[in-house]
Chain A
Amino acid sequence: MQKIDYCDDGQFCSGHVACAGCAEALSMRVILNTVGENAVGVVSPSCVAIIVGGHPTSSARIPFQHGTLESAAASASGMKRALRAQGRDDTTVLCLAGDGGTYDIGLQALSSAAERNEDILYICFDNEGYQNTGGQRSSSTPMSAVTGSTPAGNTTQKKNLIEIMAAHRVPYIATASPSDLSDLAAKVTKAKTIRGTKVIIVIIPCLPGWGVADDAAVKTARLAVESGVFPLFEVENGVTYRLRTTEKPAPIAAYLDQQKRYRHLSDEDRQALQDDVDRNWQRLLWLAAGE
């Protein structure tokens, strides 16, 4: 049992309509409470928009705008500029989007906001696919994963969004997981103190999309972290990589076994995925050693 280190003052209300057992709602609780009440938000169409809720309700105590799928970062930029014009520059602008809204259709707007270093906190809930539309692939879907649009398994690599954002030299990028909520809270707290574009990518095992048991979302996220599939780290100013651990990750087998989307894989396919993870881990170690 892990004690979660964050203060809950009721920023996230009951009544969201995420699938029962979804770890995205859990992550939202920590994020909203850590961001606090002096904030405004924009959310793009995705599972997290459903978690914020339908008209006329809202699960958040801060005001949200439900924006368009491709514009989250542009909307957030507009909000920050309006607040600045109104002398309320201290208000946090929180941007919530899925991986489709971040890696794919919203990448242009995000790149533009990042290049201007707009003072926004951008959270990407990475469930590795278009889950709100029933589970199709996105450019965040990993190699070999079965989705609604890749029934025989995805044939491309997961896009490395972190290195793309790092190339923009934004002041802060982090990965986070619902399996490590204190770490998530700490990263949000840190991001709040930094001016400029902050991007946090939170891994969200999708129950129907990944074929994960209703009670296994957090466990699956933990296995993703521990196996090095989704390592936890931070990147400052695009160059300083800080890994939470440099210990050799566990094999990915236990992680794969949690999910139906990898059930069709042969031993060779599984080994190929393991090799990818190992290569990515070596690269991360190299990046972290670089500075």
Chain B
Amino acid sequence: MSFHGPAFAGTTAIAGIGATEFSKDSGRSELRLAVEAVGAALDDAGIAPSEVDGLVTFSADTNPEIEVARSLGMGELTFFSRIHYGGGAACATILQAAMAVASGVASVVVCYRAFNERSGHRFGTGVQSGFAAPTAENAQFSWYAPFGLLTPAAWVAMFARRYMHMTGATGEDFGRVAVADRRHAATNPAAWFYRRPITLADHQESRFIVEPLRLLDCCQESDGAQALVVTSLEMARDLRHSPAVVRAAAQGSGAGQHMMTSYYSGDLLRLAEMEVVARQLWGSAGIGPADVQTAVLYDHFTPFVLYQLEELGFCPPGEAKDFVRDGNIELGGALPVNTHGGQLGEAYIHGMNGIAEAVRQVRGSAVNQVPDVEHVLVTAGTGVPTSGLVLGVDR
């Protein structure tokens, strides 16, 4: 190809996807969920566990690579890596797997994330800094927890209030993201909210969690697992499904970055980390926003979907409210977003289920298939050091 992007861009692919059911109480261990999803992804690709030589997950995941490998009968591993910063790791698992494959360190790398986030440890219950070890990471909670700013929803609310003040966006504009997600989930049998769409009025009537965020602005808490298999494009072409080519993948941390609380510089109207990711994605894929037919934008909280539309260049700064008002993010719109229902509608699997949806859109097998897909953009957790991905059809 004519662009001088990273070696993995255009030479690696996602060859298999697999997931458990998405629920509120899996009734099984997190490790078992991981094993089921990794096994399903390998079956989807048509690759035996013995061929796997690399595993990548989140540092937030509780399932060590060696437990997954032993359980599935994998042999020797030559590459394993865990990525930090919560949901910001999602697309970075594919990035690091693709780098390993392109550099020859490994040939078949499975990326996975498995948790009982609803029935086990729930992120929404907040941090308990008072009992934490005095590490630099825990010490940062000192600036929030004693003041009652304890949850991801609360940290995002501080941004959202400023954004509304400066751009004129309203709570209804945030609600339009939830309505789109739930509309898409309603026709996705794998979604928790299958056949349960909401209206904007439903959104406006839902209780406040942390103003200006309402209950329906917040993603679900879910039990489940998702896995994805990364190989060379060459190898993927001989497997069961048409490859989802990794056109670009990037990680990003902004200047002045904090964990969901980058409050101390800038105007709280930008996601600096996503700007770093966007610049790399467009640069190495050699395409722009107009070349993307559908996007999976990380939606733990609706306001940051608006921020991302601006940061990724789908609309000018401050105008995402107009973009969503025109119905552009729903099926049939200019940029259908989260066609699986997103983390509000399908499940909260820390962004990994969104990558699987992008693969289905590239394969042409999504339940809410967008016509004529060439490129799909996927993003990972916002407000934290994050990552992104452009997947494309094999031409």
A and B associate in one complex: no
* B residues neighboring A (CB under 8 Å): none
